[in-house]
Chain A
Amino acid sequence: GEDVEQSLFLSVREGDSSVINCTYTDSSSTYLYWYKQEPGAGLQLLTYIFSNMDMKQDQRLTVLLNKKDKHLSLRIADTQTGDSAIYFCAESIRSSASKIIFGSGTRLSIRP
């Protein structure tokens, strides 16, 4: 089946690292994504990882993929107030046609 799960909230202190976790169920996933959505805005693609990789780093962002456990994480180093947003984990499923399935989103709040 197609299911992507995330915890709903995360609060971190400014300057600390944030780690947002996600689990998915469909083993046919090809790409896994992290999207950021600020209030009232559309979705911004932050980063993605191909399903045969286990890590990808892009500036302050590190994505870890454990394919055996179907677990994906996003680490944001040196978290800033501008990182406050909802972060959606998503998977691209290649079946008869590609679909992107989103998790419920994790609301990241930054405290001073």
Chain B
Amino acid sequence: DTEVTQTPKHLVMGMTNKKSLKCEQHMGHRAMYWYKQKAKKPPELMFVYSYEKLSINESVPSRFSPECPNSSLLNLHLHALQPEDSALYLCASSPHETDVNTEAFFGQGTRLTVV
């Protein structure tokens, strides 16, 4: 199983809603990542978890709150988002974070629209 599974695939939420994006992998990877991709732009790193601890936060606004409940799961909690937060949110995992990174596997993404 070399898949990273993200749910939901599409999400529409209002600016006052609270929602969560979910990501799951069963490859035994110990590093997991959240990326944000705006239309026609490259993915931009948001957060990195290593061994279930947050190791990188790329100055992401607090309305995005990541959580890693165990080594297979990564969540992104959303609250009070703005329309400009509409984007494709990609989850990725790799065997390790601080060691050489041979392969990072990406999920299909959650397409988020904030109205």
Q: Which of B45, B50, B100, B109 contacts A100 (CB 8 A)?
A: B45
Q: Which residue of B is nearest A8, CB measured? A: B40
Least Cβ–Cβ distance between B31 and chain A, in angstroms: 7
Q: How many residues of A contact B (CB 8 A)?
A: 24
Residues in chain B near residue A100, CB distance under 8 A: 33, 45, 92, 101, 104
Interface of A is mostly: strand
Question: For the complex, is A42 an interface residue (Cβ under 8 Å from B)?
Answer: yes
Contact B106 A99 (CB under 8 A): no
Name the interface size band of chain B: 20 to 34
Contact B43 A102 (CB under 8 A): yes
The 8 A CB mask of B56-81 against A (1 = contact, 0 = none) is: 10000000000000000000000000
Contact A98 B90 (CB under 8 A): no
Q: Which residue of A is nearest B98, CB measured? A: A97
Residues of A53-112 at the interface with B, using a CB-CB cut-off of 8 Å, are 88, 92, 94, 96-105
A-B contact pairs, 29 of them (CB 8 A): A30-B101, A31-B101, A35-B106, A40-B111, A41-B108, A42-B88, A42-B90, A42-B106, A42-B109, A43-B43, A43-B92, A45-B104, A48-B102, A48-B103, A92-B101, A94-B100, A97-B50, A97-B55, A97-B97, A97-B98, A98-B31, A98-B99, A99-B48, A100-B92, A100-B101, A103-B42, A104-B42, A105-B40, A105-B42
Residues of A with Cβ closer than 8 Å to B?
30-31, 33, 35, 40-45, 48, 88, 92, 94, 96-105
**Among all A-B residue pairs, the 6 with the closest Cβ atoms:** A102-B42, A42-B108, A43-B106, A92-B101, A98-B101, A42-B109
